[in-house]
Amino acid sequence: MKLISLKCPECSSNLQIEEGRDKCFCQYCGAEISLNDYYSSHIYRKVDEARIKEAEYKKEVRVKQAEIDKEVRLKELEVEARRTKSSIVRVVVKLIAFAILVIVAAIFDVVGSTNFDLRGLANTAALILVMAPIVLIFLFLSEKK
């Protein structure tokens, strides 16, 4: 007769049982073991444990992926905030430079028109007042690219 080996469900001892029996008793604790139920429950338990582990693994993967996605999104938001802030600073600096240029041109115009010897300043002021808006437009167009 062929012997099969199994573990007692009560005391976990290793048992050697003759193949073809429906029931047996544990020689250590005396527990009655139904071999038909043992085989089916043993197979089902292994399958269920594998599915449980698979579900736990998938859940861990989803949680880690969500954490990674969250970190990536935060980094993207930080980069976007820095870009927006630096863009605003550049626009403000350009506007301040333009305002200073216009003020200097206005001063040249006033000084040049009141003093005949400084008439060249008035011409320079007129040139600055004409060219400043064109330069400002090109500065803002280069910013958009």
pTM given for the model: 0.44
Domain housing 82: 3-144
The rounded distance, in Å, linking the Cα atoms of 21 and 6 is 13
The residues near 109 (Cβ < 8 Å, ≥ 6 apart) are: 121, 122, 125, 126, 129
Task: Please say whether the dihedral angle defined by the alpha carbons of residues 97, 102, 103 and 105, taken in this order, is positive or negative.
Answer: positive
**Which stretches of the chain score pLDDT less than 50?**
43-44
**What is the structure's pLDDT at 44?**
47
**What is the structure's pLDDT at 145?**
54
Query: How many domains does the chain divide into?
Result: 1
What six digits make up the tokens of 34? 């139904």
**What is the structure's pLDDT at 81?**
93
The residues near 34 (Cβ < 8 Å, ≥ 6 apart) are: 22, 23
